[in-house]
Structure 1
Amino acid sequence: MSIVIFGASGNIGSNIRKEALSRGHRVTAVTKNTRLDPTENLTPLNADIANADDVAKIVAGHDAVISAYSPGLRNYSAEDAAALIEKAHQSLFAAVKQADVKRLIIVGGVGSLEASPGVDVVDSDFYPAGHRAHTLRNREILRSLKRGEHDLDWTYVSPPLEIKAGERTGQFRLGQDQLLRDQNGDSRISEADFAIAILDALDQGTFKRQRFTAAY
């Protein structure tokens, strides 16, 4: 399978890239500033996901697109990040539709998961107030997909509360709209196992036009 990965050098994106290559997929790895070295089955590109024309040219002819794009909050305020997220996804959706790519997987945020009945993580009392603006934008993107506004064969995947470097175990649980916690109340997964869950969904054709999450 030929896959385009946006945000392919980030913490989550790099693990998705490695997992896809380990399964024998052909990967076009798109980054904005970081340069990756080409290897077998890997074609690195530098491009801006917010440029719809460029994105359409890049994704044309591929079987699937995975977006792990995130501007992050180290260099941007939550409000500025929200604006960048909105622009990037408008571009991505238009380009994927124009190029007639058959599968789109979006790595989103934890905030739209339900922390307790009727209360999303972003609206809970433990969620950092300084993160709300960009988290609300991510939630609205998911809602617009669920409303069918973009006519795409999409999958949206949300991480648990904690995702960081760690062991690739292949052992985790899957859920859909509720935040997953273990018996100790922790909500976590390694980036490597999260990548497995994403590539499994792509390879097995599961969670089409649905959101899912993965955690221990």
Structure 2
Amino acid sequence: MSDIVVFGAGGTAGSRIAAEAAERGHRVTAAVRRPEATSYLPPGVRTVTGDATSPRSVRELAEDADVFVVAIGGGERELWRDAARTLVDTLRELPDPPRVIHVGGGATLLTPKGTRYLDEPDFPEEYRDSAEGQADALEFYRSSADGVTWTYVSPPPLEFHPGERTGHYRTGTDHPVTDAQGRSVLTYEDLAVAIVDEIENPRFGNARFTAAY
């Protein structure tokens, strides 16, 4: 059993990760900016005010944590890199820091041509800031996260939505996992399964992975 802190547990991904981890018997803390808005989380999930971009908040929550899951969203482009930098700079000062699992974007995955999906000419402009922000965070982990164990998780770049929890998925690294028809599909529920599986049986330390059916 692990002590898991989920930053952004009030969101679509974070709430499912918190619920999946709690269902499996882990001790889960939901770190959110507005604790009063998370009444739908399952019993047993402790809710606290927390901010992944605040060194003080990160330091306090790290005292009893084995794993930090970062599933934040809804901010400007700088949000994700700021969170990554705050976590790494704060945690590397601790003697036994928690592992960081960052829920990133699928647009940073590579197309068959070897370019990022976010660099394709038809990439939707309304998603560009968040995609670029998640790309900045991934680059920061890869280049500057010495002393902290991290894992960056990318969902499929297009077909990723709430749905059924099947408990089944396949993993890859920098290219989307595709089926026989070339589709890469996953639900938020099964992304949560993949993330809690990675917490329980680590395979992607200091690396990025993706999952799909």
Structure 2 counterpart of 1:75: none
Structure 1 counterpart of 2:195: 198
State the secondary structure of the residue aligned to 1:27: strand
Selected match of 1:90 from 62, 85, 94:
85
Structure 2 counterpart of 1:29: 30
1:1-216 to structure 2, matched below 5 A, reads 1-35=2-36, 36-37=38-39, 41-71=44-74, 81-99=76-94, 100-160=96-156, 161-216=158-213
Unaligned stretches of 5+ residues in structure 1: 73-80
The alpha-carbon distance between structure 1 residues 149 and 20, as it changes in their structure 2 partners (threshold 3 A), is: closer
Task: Please report how far the alpha carbon of residue 59 of structure 1 lies from its aligned counterpart in structure 2 after TM superposition.
Answer: 1.9
Instruction: State the number of aligned residues.
Output: 208
Unaligned stretches of 5+ residues in structure 2: none
The alpha-carbon distance between structure 1 residues 128 and 58, as it changes in their structure 2 partners (threshold 3 A), is: same
Q: Deviations over 1:19-54 (max 9, x none)?
A: 100110001111112423586542101223221112
Task: Please report how far the alpha carbon of residue 86 of structure 1 lies from its aligned counterpart in structure 2 after TM superposition.
Answer: 2.7
Contact 2:102 2:152 in 1 (8 A): yes
Task: Please report how far the alpha carbon of residue 151 of structure 1 lies from its aligned counterpart in structure 2 after TM superposition.
Answer: 2.8
State the secondary structure of the residue aligned to 1:157: strand
Q: Give RMSD over aligned pairs.
A: 1.9
Aligned equivalents of 2:28, 2:139: Cα separation in 1 = 29
Q: Deviations over 1:54-96 (max 9, x none)?
A: 2210122211111111125xxxxxxxx1022232222222333
What code does the residue aligned with 1:82 have? R
Of stretches 24-33 and 137-146 in structure 1, the one that deviates more from structure 2 is 137-146
Aligned equivalents of 2:116, 2:123: Cα separation in 1 = 10
State the secondary structure of the residue aligned to 2:92: helix
Aligned equivalents of 1:101, 1:149: Cα separation in 2 = 12
TM-score computed with the length of structure 1 as normaliser: 0.88
TM-score computed with the length of structure 2 as normaliser: 0.89
Aligned equivalents of 1:134, 1:142: Cα separation in 2 = 12
The alpha-carbon distance between structure 1 residues 184 and 39, as it changes in their structure 2 partners (threshold 3 A), is: closer
Contact 2:52 2:70 in 1 (8 A): no
